[in-house]
Homo-oligomer: A and B are copies of this chain.
């Protein structure tokens, strides 16, 4: 089960919406709490997802150098990214319902 299956993208979008602005290393701590599966999300996958989201215009980033420690690439959602999150909500709502139906059907079938 890969990263698509782990739904890294929508979780990152939601976290950014909640936090307003954040950066990879910070996101990686909260990621697991909001994840849709308990499979671990690697940091490598997170960084790649963030750059990919930026490539699609769903987030924007800038370097933050005024804080202590190594420089941080700070991201925030764009308007497009917010719409993208809404779309994800629709997709996942449908998927959730269709899975629930599948489970019900499966259990009924197995009981017979």
B93 adjacent to A110 (CB under 8 Å): no
Copies per complex? 2
A5 interfacial by beta-carbon distance below 8 Å: yes
Count A interface residues, CB 8 Å. 32
Contact with B along A1-38 (1 / 0, CB 8 A): 11011000011001001100000000000000010110
Expressed in whole angstroms, the minimum distance between the Cβ of A99 and any Cβ of chain B is 4
How would residues 56 to 90 of chain A score, 1 for a CB under 8 Å from any chain B CB and 0 otherwise?
00000000000000000000000000100110110
Find chain B residues with CB under 8 A from A36 CB. Answer: 95, 98-99, 102
B106→A14 contact, CB < 8 A: yes
The smallest beta-carbon distance between A106 and chain B, in angstroms, is 5
